[in-house]
Amino acid sequence: GENVEQHPSTLSVQEGDSAVIKCTYSDSASNYFPWYKQELGKGPQLIIDIRSNVGEKKDQRIAVTLNKTAKHFSLHITETQPEDSAVYFCAASISDSWGKLQFGAGTQVVVTP
């Protein structure tokens, strides 16, 4: 089955700096890779996603890159702000299933002013 590994588990950055979170997946048939942001006491919120026919996608200060050959994808947050502090989860679709996702373990991001 699909296995998703996420690194680092914690990330501390200064406000204004960039943050990068990396995930690897095992199933070459996976074709959908969403990223979620979870703030304390709330449910995960979809912030960006990418499909396997695209190598990069950007939305304002966040971007995701996908390397299908190496089976890894990354989330990039530029010009970080204190409100970016949260837990971020990557996920990969599970092939031959209707919509199931395999989640990474999460990255706690702390942005210090």
Partner 1 sequence: DARVTQTPRDKVTEMGQEVTMRCQPILGHNTVFWYRQTMMQGLELLAYFRNRAPLDDSGMPKDRFSAEMPDATLATLKIQPSEPRDSAVYFCASGPGLNKETQYFGPGTRLLVL
Contacts with partner 1 by CB under 8 A lie at: 32, 34, 36, 42-46, 49, 89, 93, 97-101, 103, 105-106
Minimum gap (Å) between residue 42 Cβ and partner 1: 6
Q: How far is the CB of 15 from partner 1 (least distance, A)?
A: 27
Based on CB atoms, which residue is closest to partner 1, 27 or 49?
49
Q: What's the chain's length in residues?
A: 113
Smallest separation (angstroms) from partner 1 to the CB of 32: 4
The secondary structure of residue 94, as a DSSP letter, is P
Taking the complex as a whole, the smallest distance from the CB of residue 26 to partner 1 amounts, in Å, to 17
Residue 6 or 80: the one with the smaller Cβ distance to partner 1 is 6
The DSSP result for 32-82, as a single string, is EEEEEEE-TTS--EEEEEEETT-SEEEETTEEEEEETTTTEEEEEE-S--G
Return the structure tokens found at 26.
Answer: 């095992």
Secondary element (H or E) of residue 13:
strand 10-14
Pick between residue 14 and residue 40 the one whose CB is nearest to partner 1.
40
